[in-house]
Chain A
Amino acid sequence: MPYSGRYNSSSRRKFITSAGVAGVVALAGCTGDSSNSSDSDGGTTGGGDSSMEIGALQPFTGTYDWIAAETEPSMNLAFKQIENEGVLGMNTINMNKQDTAVKPQQAKQGLITLDSAGVPAVIGPTSSVMPSLIEPVQNAELPMNTVTAGTIQLDSVGGEWLWRSVPSDAVGGAAAGLYAYEELGHRNIALTYKNDRGSSSFSKAVGAAFEAKGGTVETEVPLPVNANSYRSQIEELINADPDMVQMTAATEISTLFVKNYDQLDAKESFNLMLGNDVLTESFIESIGADVAEGFIGQAPAPGPANEQFVQAFRDEYDRAPGTFAAAAYDASNMFALAFQHAGEVSRDVIPESLPAIANPGGTKVTTFAEGKTELENGNEINYIGASNPQDFDENGNVVGPFSVLQATDGEWKSATTYQADTLSEVY
């Protein structure tokens, strides 16, 4: 008689089937396999082909899938406008979509797939995976412009094959740190952040800027993922007695943190300065306007061509563009203008032509059509972005003004705007 406490062969088979199904469900739900939505007919080197293919290495699945939901329509809008004008005789732009699934290895495999497909340029992904792509991008000599990665780990590594159309966290951190020290008169703050690279990067940038002005960071409290409560972390912060706490975390963690913050009446001890992820009105709605009242945040000041972009986006999709959409639009336009500038669609022309069309020194243009006309007339151009001015420094970082926001009557309202040269003195 089989021992009843053991797995006999029958239950073993049941287990195999169950575990197999669990495994494939994990595969379906967790691996976030990447994809290629284009027909990939080549067309990546210009010349005789009538189409070209641009890589989109974005989080189409996973924790940050909402980002791709914002950047993809924006890229499509730009591609549509570019196709109407044509780039060097090409009137079709295919998007080769590769999913990062917010996982470094998936992102690397996506990048290698794009490299193997021969795309001339890639719109790049988030801070969660970007640092893992620095070396592969440089080795492949495949131009990438990330439209979401603010991580400070990119601050000094770009400029040759890597650029970003969003400011470094160091810039946003500088704005927040400056505001806390100079405008609010705080002299000691505490940092708390989701215990991952992107979140800690931003919080530490705020702390560095604050300390550069002469303030003190009393303590740092990492927030574990998937916690049921952040009461102990909040109590630790209360005990540190800071004037203000800077918190960077994704929406779910921030919502739970603020709920616990409210339950503990921690507002009597410190105000909160938040990271970029939660600077939305829906976040204020989720936590309650009365709780959010007075919270501080920061965001890149909209670019000179923002209104024009927002209108075009509304006309196309009948809704307002979300976070990072403008940067994706800018990055798409700039790659196309760089090819137009060089007279060739290839990877090799980007390092010289991208800064040439983006940085000050030529006729200011805000769309691909304007830029193409100027280039065809033999003029140099300076692309002015929808997300920010899109002027690159030698390390491929955009520099531009940053706004500090404050939650007031259920809305995020601009408190002040720091110009790029002011911020560059701090970070």
Chain B
Amino acid sequence: MGAVGTLLNPSLLATTAIFIIIWGMLAIGLNMHWGETGLLNFAHAAFFAVGAYTSAILTTPPPEGGAILEATRTIGFDFPIVVGMVGAIVVTAVIGVAIGATSIRLEDDYLAIVTLAGAEIIRLIIINQGSLTAGTKPIKNIPRPLEGTFQEVLGLGLPYRVYYVGIAGIVLLGTLLIFRHLSNSPFGRVLNAIREDEEVPKALGRDTARYKLKSFGLGAGVAGLAGALFAHSQNAIIASQFTASLTFIIWAAVIIGGSGNYVGAVVGAGFILGLQALLRVVPSGIPVIGGNIAVLRPIIVGILLIVILYARPQGLLGNKQQTLAGMKEGS
């Protein structure tokens, strides 16, 4: 099977699509924070983890028995998946607001530091509260929505993940529509004003801290929903899946897609993941890099993205006028 055949395999295509959707959701959340409101958030991977763990804990019973050497999780609920997803949004949004409330009235740098600290606290809680999260062990047997039903009803013989693309895609589309609507509403315009110069909406009598907290909660809630989607697309989740590097990848997705543009955020996520998937199957018969392609490939991705940033500083779908607003000619 050639590289193209591998790339077009339904299973691989579906897996890539699921991740583009989930990362796209994360990028939407971060775009609400940064692109719309100008809030520096470095805890997005932690919000993602909170959503994934919340939904996993709510929808799986505590494991019975287990090997003597396994970490023992004692808390679990076996609720329906929809409860898990709603719970993931609510819990993550509340945690987001709680983190934001400590510093959102201060300068942006303080919020950035607080989110970094918050992310570390969340990571440590996940690793150390084994009775709730299984610690460094995985939470297994996370249910998948309508698993088996699709195959029975449609009978197309396709892997489940192909159908999951549809489920996740609908959630993404709904989220995208809601956030675009918010962006064009008076609420969104206040957020944009805060982003450009907070003193202006303040002078007009707006409680900007309240708006920023709402923005922070909304963005965190979407990250939580993305986490729930992720958890239910997998059979198991584990703490090491939620590393801080994910936050920076989502930042890259938002900026490459076009800061302030929700569709751009999703496109940015798709661009990065699509590029990675493509490079997985590119033949190695290239001079010089040949046998070292596994190590060089991340560097190739990085260089390509840097080139894009310099060619289009506003991102693929970004608004150049908005991005460059305020810059003096020639500066």
Does A197 count as interface, using CB distance less than 8 angstroms? yes
CB distance from A410 to the nearest CB of B (A): 33
The 8 Å CB contact of B302, one of A28, A42, A170, is A28
Once A20-B309, A42-B1 are accepted as A-B contacts, the answer to whether A201 and B280 lie under 8 Å apart by CB is no
B128: A residues at CB distance < 8 A? 195, 222
A34-B280, A195-B128, A208-B68 known; 11 new pairs, CB 8 Å cut-off, are A6-B108, A10-B331, A27-B249, A33-B298, A99-B294, A103-B241, A109-B15, A113-B280, A117-B1, A117-B9, A222-B128
Docked-complex contact A109 and B238, CB < 8 angstroms: no
Among residues of A, the one whose C-beta sits closest to the C-beta of B70 is A153
Among residues of B, the one whose C-beta sits closest to the C-beta of A37 is B284
* 19 A/B residue pairs, CB under 8 Å, sorted by A: A12-B323, A23-B252, A26-B248, A29-B302, A33-B279, A36-B6, A36-B283, A40-B6, A97-B294, A104-B238, A109-B19, A113-B6, A116-B11, A118-B6, A131-B236, A195-B136, A197-B238, A200-B136, A208-B69
B290: A residues at CB distance < 8 A? 37
B7: A residues at CB distance < 8 A? 116
The 8 Å CB contact of A42, one of B2, B136, B138, B197, is B2
List B253-296 residues whose CB lies under 8 Å from chain A.
253, 255-256, 259, 272, 276-277, 279-285, 290-291, 293-295
B108: A residues at CB distance < 8 A? 6-7
Among residues of B, the one whose C-beta sits closest to the C-beta of A76 is B291
Q: In whole angstroms, how far apart are the Cα atoms of A26 and B250 in the complex?
A: 10
CB distance from A227 to the nearest CB of B (A): 12
Among residues of A, the one whose C-beta sits closest to the C-beta of B198 is A6
CB distance from B159 to the nearest CB of A (A): 8
> How many B residues face the partner with a CB closer than 8 A?
74
Docked-complex contact B2 and A41, CB < 8 angstroms: yes
List A1-37 residues whose CB lies under 8 Å from chain B.
2-3, 5-10, 12-13, 16-17, 19-37
Docked-complex contact B326 and A8, CB < 8 angstroms: yes
B325: A residues at CB distance < 8 A? 9
B302: A residues at CB distance < 8 A? 24-25, 27-29
Docked-complex contact A40 and B280, CB < 8 angstroms: no
- Can you list, as one digit per residue, whether each of B160-173 has a CB less than 8 Å from chain A (1) or not (0)? 00000000000000
Does A110 count as interface, using CB distance less than 8 angstroms? yes
B204: A residues at CB distance < 8 A? none
Docked-complex contact B323 and A13, CB < 8 angstroms: yes
Docked-complex contact B197 and A24, CB < 8 angstroms: no
Does B129 count as interface, using CB distance less than 8 angstroms? no
The 8 Å CB contact of A24, one of B19, B136, B252, B279, is B252
Q: In whole angstroms, how far apart are the Cα atoms of A166 and B294 in the complex?
A: 25
Most buried by B among A5, A116, A136, A155: A116
B2: A residues at CB distance < 8 A? 40-42
Q: In whole angstroms, how far apart are the Cα atoms of A22 and B244 in the complex?
A: 13
A112: B residues at CB distance < 8 A? 11-12, 15
List B59-113 residues whose CB lies under 8 Å from chain A.
67-71, 107-108
Most buried by A among B68, B290, B294, B313: B294
Chain A interface (Cβ < 8 Å from any Cβ of B):
2-3, 5-10, 12-13, 16-17, 19-42, 44, 60-61, 65, 97-99, 103-105, 108-110, 112-113, 115-118, 128, 131-132, 135-136, 152-153, 155-156, 170, 195-197, 200-201, 204-205, 208, 222
Does B297 count as interface, using CB distance less than 8 angstroms? yes
Docked-complex contact A32 and B240, CB < 8 angstroms: no
- Chain A interface main SS type: helix
Docked-complex contact A103 and B240, CB < 8 angstroms: yes
Does B184 count as interface, using CB distance less than 8 angstroms? no
Docked-complex contact A205 and B243, CB < 8 angstroms: no
Docked-complex contact A16 and B323, CB < 8 angstroms: yes
Q: In whole angstroms, how far apart are the Cα atoms of A358 and B310 in the complex?
A: 57
Most buried by B among A117, A135, A200: A117
Among residues of B, the one whose C-beta sits closest to the C-beta of A114 is B6
Docked-complex contact A33 and B297, CB < 8 angstroms: yes
Among residues of B, the one whose C-beta sits closest to the C-beta of A98 is B280
Docked-complex contact A38 and B283, CB < 8 angstroms: yes
Docked-complex contact B199 and A23, CB < 8 angstroms: no
Docked-complex contact B306 and A3, CB < 8 angstroms: no
Q: In whole angstroms, how far apart are the Cα atoms of A131 and B239 in the complex?
A: 13
Once A37-B294, A205-B69 are accepted as A-B contacts, the answer to whether A20 and B280 lie under 8 Å apart by CB is no
The 8 Å CB contact of B1, one of A6, A40, A201, is A40
Among residues of A, the one whose C-beta sits closest to the C-beta of B16 is A109
Does B125 count as interface, using CB distance less than 8 angstroms? no
Docked-complex contact A24 and B240, CB < 8 angstroms: no
Docked-complex contact B197 and A8, CB < 8 angstroms: yes
Once A33-B276, A33-B298 are accepted as A-B contacts, the answer to whether A113 and B241 lie under 8 Å apart by CB is no
The 8 Å CB contact of B259, one of A16, A24, A34, A44, is A16
Does B118 count as interface, using CB distance less than 8 angstroms? no
CB distance from B195 to the nearest CB of A (A): 8
Once A33-B298, A197-B136 are accepted as A-B contacts, the answer to whether A110 and B280 lie under 8 Å apart by CB is yes
B277: A residues at CB distance < 8 A? 109, 113
Q: In whole angstroms, how far apart are the Cα atoms of A97 and B281 in the complex?
A: 10
Once A38-B283, A113-B6, A132-B138 are accepted as A-B contacts, the answer to whether A30 and B127 lie under 8 Å apart by CB is no
A200: B residues at CB distance < 8 A? 71, 136
Docked-complex contact B313 and A16, CB < 8 angstroms: yes
CB distance from A235 to the nearest CB of B (A): 19
Q: In whole angstroms, how far apart are the Cα atoms of A10 and B326 in the complex?
A: 6
Docked-complex contact B252 and A20, CB < 8 angstroms: yes
